[in-house]
Structure 1
């Protein structure tokens, strides 16, 4: 479980740092604020019981899906950072 969650954290960290380097701080700050507002509204106004129930019932599947998302993020880091001047 720790390795699966670690792969997710490393993958999301690499894609976020690559996007931050490619697009700049202000652009990424706007995206994070926009996603944060949408996530806050969804969390406060939406019904999260189905997602939380599925996550708790299928913990191992959820962790494997998170690790798969982390691997996809690691693979997508190269196309994001490929044409950036150093």
Structure 2
């Protein structure tokens, strides 16, 4: 696969920090495409495809999302209160 910096730049239109792109070039192929359902050696972090795909999905759902924000993984389920009712939501990094 091409270098992650190039992939992210072409797909997302932003330049990611070098530390993150270097990490993804080295270890990204060992991370799962679905860190929600698949455990990995680094809890929650997703593969290159997860980062790009999930970020693009968030951008399409939240048009005002800052373009510099990138989804890199899945933290857990978080419980919030909406209209006095408990709701479980997925929390992404």
Query: Structure 2-normalised TM-score?
Result: 0.26
Greater RCO structure (CA 8 Å; 6+ sep):
1
**Higher share of residues assigned strand:** 2
Larger Rg: 1
**Higher share of residues assigned helix:** 1
